[in-house]
Structure 1
């Protein structure tokens, strides 16, 4: 199953789009009508702001919080509590009004606040001890997102399971040194985080552009015929992947399709066939372009990209990755990546239409 998912994931790194003028390329299976000057919508890079950097660092601080259970006193503002609760209106439970094991910081304003007539949800937990079960009454605000709840009064039966004192570490040079192998000071850490976020933003732009240009490329590629053996192999791979998903959910394949995919077996077969044919078309078109434009990866490029794919797929070594995924699959993915990078380098980015925006 892992092999099929990785193979599919690698394949999805590429896609297609076309416009411009260049010579046709053709073989027994496909004709590429255009591969240079393909028009694709311009992809804007997200600007990394100081606020985004601060928010990311705060998320690291939050993830490094320490939590100490409190057993010798009642809940106070600032504590984090573990609660079960059931909400009712006029004695009838309502959707979204119940939960178990909910973690809530008292005073955070996460739950229903106070009104002129009723105290807020969180402040009414203050003063209660672990193990207590009690009922509170609150009033939904007039601007509550669910209009039919606006200004309504509700009762909540609450069981206070546990009280915790949560401490968030301060952003100091000492803390940075426990979190980063590169940075020693807060300023260095902020710079490190910014550089990583900018790299991720650029990777996102590259991925979107490559997907668009691959889609355009395929649109400009005509199919003469497809090797049925390859199509059947792709279809079988897709079918096996979803059958294993059904097994993981502990249900029959037909039940999985109807219950989780909202489709019939016939619809699945039609879509799987279409996906299989597109995958073979992409493979043939990329191989043809790579052959004619000398884009085949060198041994060094292949090994470097295979190692990258292995790391992305959480494999400890590249040889195990190749063995489990299949070297043919890896080689095809590397070649398609080379092709899509060539297409992206030679495409024309245009302003997106209003609908695309």
Structure 2
């Protein structure tokens, strides 16, 4: 075989070869000889089948396997020429040319390799910044919010008309076609008007009522309501307003701190302020990181750290961008793309820069994670998914299984690694750190 391998850059290589028919036939004979030891062909004892019979029985398959073996040999020899280990390849080699004739096969194979990345003095690319400040007023405002959220409700003596935002104590009972239905009755029920806790229309009709007033209101349950008996049905509710409810005032003192810092023997209002201040600082820092510093830092790394990218990985990123774009295109636009190859090429190029930057960022984060000795274990990944699922009111195991079956876990894990890497690098640049 005539083989010429060319290393285009540190991430891409090209192998061209001419495979003679003699080489293909030699592989056919070799494979047929191996098969003759195990093949079951009528009229011959196992292990005693002549090559001619094997070739007659498995002719097309033998040729296919012989060509495949020849391609493997081309790849192995090409990698040896350019001194590239098979373990450093990314993805499967791409056969971009396979021209067969009676005498030979002309082949061309493109291969991609994991980029060689010199991060250099990457820490010097990160600017120092000041930690966000939290004022005493912000601390006291948050403590008041927390205290109010835990304060018990009391009935007010006010007899004014109810307005949106009021919390009220009501009695109600629901009727469908004049008959009370199960689960439609409650007494002294606390409801914040405008919260959307009840079905649409209910709270709006309570607004404007007064303490002691009784009223029958009509509402229609949503068509997708959980109860088939009530879904889409018009119902009546008899409603009585018992009172407007107000939060009791809570003293901002050590007693409040003991309630809000359970389990701490030395709980005090000063310690509560310290903890709330730390919480607010972390919230502000997280917002600063996510909205400004992390995107800016990643852009800086992409702009300053230079290395070759595997072409086919960039092409895959472009493919995903085009597929996403296609979902928003009209049928006429899609038809034009199907019928005009130049339009497709033109469209692909509009995504190339963003795709290349996205791929580059991924490789940079991977290299930084190795440099900073950062990883995300499968246990951490599962815990994160479980926690977020529970916050959303979803079944954690079902959510994890869905992500697993959909192939999302590697992307989620990579996002977590990126978060860890950038957090660590930025934390080191806080001026008062």
TM-score, normalised relative to structure 2: 0.39
TM-score after normalising by structure 1: 0.45
Structure with greater Cα Rg? 2
> Which of structures 1 and 2 has the larger relative contact order (alpha carbons within 8 angstroms, sep 6+)?
1
